[in-house]
Chain A
């Protein structure tokens, strides 16, 4: 079984400041890792994913994440945030062997202040 823990429920940050949203996972098997963003009353949009290869993954909108196997983490970072980045962010994991079933973290609300 897998589980995902997003360590911060809310992250307030000023515009143009850097941000890191933390994600830790637990799994007894190899995993794929994902970060999704959700704007109010909308579905989820994929920011980035780690399947294999380089542990530093770059995504859309200037976001990147680093897979750390020893620490079982997949933290999301952006060097300079915009007001438009205000949204809910979800980290998710799926095992490499199944049909794509995702296990989501609890979500982190990123609040970008002017």
Chain B
């Protein structure tokens, strides 16, 4: 149990276009989901906290107008990278916090490459 999926697993897009990444909790409800960004050989950097039915909370330095987060249901959160640029290329990982638990379950990640 406690599986989190991400779609797509990898995507290549042209500079200036937008890309949407989905994060789903498959077998549990997640009132809170988190979005992380990971550069090669580095740790995970928390970008934002997404709560179902409310606006996401962004970490300092993360552009909320560039990284749009929507958490429309208890099993789905989406991250849209708007007007992507090559510097947005990264590995994006989501996690879901199981209700009444302190354990986060991580998705497999999405590799974004902007050309």
Using CB atoms and an 8 Å cutoff, list the residues of chain A in contact with chain B.
32, 36, 41-46, 49, 51, 90, 94, 99-107
Q: Which of B6, B44, B105, B109 has the most CB of A within 10 A?
A: B44
With A44-B95, A99-B49 given, name 17 new contacts (CB 8 A).
A36-B106, A42-B108, A43-B93, A44-B93, A45-B106, A46-B103, A51-B102, A94-B102, A99-B97, A100-B104, A101-B49, A102-B46, A102-B95, A102-B104, A104-B43, A104-B44, A106-B43
Chain A residues whose CB sits within 8 angstroms of the CB of B97 once the complex forms? 99-100
Name A43's contact: one of B46, B102, B107 (CB within 8 Å): B107
Task: Looking at the assembled complex, report how far the CB atom of A73 sits from the nearest CB atom of chain B, in whole angstroms.
Answer: 18
Total number of B residues with any Cβ neighbor in A under 8 Å: 23
Using CB atoms and an 8 Å cutoff, list the residues of chain B in contact with chain A.
4, 6, 32, 34, 42-44, 46, 49, 51, 91, 93, 95, 97, 102-109, 111
Q: Which residue of B lies closest to A102 (CB)?
A: B104
Q: Given the known A-B contacts A41-B109, A41-B111, A43-B109, are A105 and B103 also in contact in the complex, defined by CB atoms under 8 Å?
A: no
Q: How far is the CA of A94 from the CA of B44 in the complex (A)?
A: 14
Of the A-B pairs whose beta carbons lie under 8 Å apart in the complex, a sample of 11, sorted by A's number, is A32-B102, A41-B111, A43-B4, A43-B106, A44-B106, A46-B105, A90-B43, A94-B102, A99-B32, A99-B51, A107-B43
Task: Looking at the assembled complex, report how far the CB atom of B104 sits from the nearest CB atom of chain A, in whole angstroms.
Answer: 6
